[in-house]
Amino acid sequence: METGTLDYKKMYSHLVGAISDALDHLPFYPENKETHDLLKSALLAAEEWYISAGETKEN
């Protein structure tokens, strides 16, 4: 990796891990539902973008 280049895989991995951990620790009470749904949606979107980017590189 060149100096000054961002390591997007490492950033993605760290962020997805943090979101997943937050979801695991967030009590599932009615008042937390919107927050839970937002985090879950962001996690699934990030996973889809990551998978799609890998498929694009391979093709």
Q: What is the pLDDT of residue 49?
A: 85
Q: Is residue 1 part of a domain?
A: no
Domain assignment present for 31: yes
How many domains in the chain? 1
Q: Is residue 2 a part of any domain in this protein?
A: no
Residue 24 within a domain: yes
| 44: amino acid identity, one letter | L
| Residue 15 falls inside a structural domain | yes
Question: What pLDDT sits at residue 4?
Answer: 62
Domain that holds residue 27: 8-58
Q: How confident is the model over 6-59, as pLDDT tens digits? A: 788 888 889 889 999 999 999 989 999 999 999 999 989 988 888 888 766 665
Looking at residue 3, what DSSP letter applies?
T
What's the pLDDT score for residue 28?
83
If you average pLDDT over every residue of the chain, what do you get? Answer: 84
Q: How far apart are CA 39 and CA 25, in angstroms?
A: 12
